[in-house]
Amino acid sequence: MTSNAAYEKRPGNATANLIALGLVLVAFVVLFWSTFVNMAQRWEDPTFSHGWVVVPAALVFIWVKRKTFEGLPVKPSWWGLVIVLLGVLSMLMALWADVKFLPFLSVLVVVAGIIVHLLGWQWFIKLIFPYSFLFFMVPWPDFLLVMVTGPMQILTATYSAFLASLIGVGVFSEGVNLHMTKPDGTIWHSFEVAVACSGMRSMVALMCLAAGFAYFTEAALWK
């Protein structure tokens, strides 16, 4: 009998492992509590409101595919602690530099480290999709949100003006603004395509749904 097999058969190992896992989870929650609170506050924004269901969905993915984990050896790796340390250091640096977006990513780095340290690389590879799905719960930084929503607002305004012109409505776009015109060409009303109307909320939510659907149907990535 190998030393690993002997270790697995020792009485009390299961209890000790559960206690160790519980302590790790408690330490994880305490360390990142303020980050979780900030993330939850960002989820109040309709653009990122899907964040509330990401973790439950990831757990469902694991449960549905649970048979694929049968017989998978548990081989803890000390590299997991290195990854955890990198995640904690990145969070501390982000707090020191007041970079509000980075702690959200630090959480996921630490999660990866915990998986590798407790279960091993084979488990992490097997869990790569549910783990990667967790990135959908990370709110986008403001600068990236502005970079994406700006062009989408302009595109929406341009496309709306084009469709309206096809049915004879006098309208033209100017940036994110739409101008309604009289038959003589004078503007009688103007309004702005707001961020909420840019399609950003729908795009993020649809990306999340599409990823989950592809996982369940095992469709190719390009599909």
pLDDT at 11: 44
Query: Digits of tens for pLDDT over the chain (223 positions)?
Result: 444 444 444 445 557 767 777 787 888 888 888 889 999 999 998 888 888 999 999 999 999 888 888 888 888 889 999 999 999 999 888 888 778 888 899 999 999 999 999 889 999 999 999 999 999 999 888 788 778 888 888 888 888 888 888 887 888 787 778 888 877 777 777 878 777 677 777 788 888 888 888 887 765 445 5
* Cβ neighbours, 10 Å, residue 139: 21
Q: 179 with 202: CB under 8 angstroms?
A: no
Helices (H), 98-141: 102-118, 121-126, 128-133
Q: Which of 192, 152, 160 is nearest to 176 (CA)?
A: 192
pLDDT of residue 161: 82
Instruction: Please report the pLDDT score of residue 159 as a whole number.
Output: 80
Which sign, positive or negative, has the C-alpha torsion 97, 41, 22, 130? negative
DSSP-derived 3-state class of residue 219:
coil
Query: Which residue type does 118 have?
Result: L
pTM listed for this prediction: 0.73
pLDDT at residue 128, as a whole number: 94
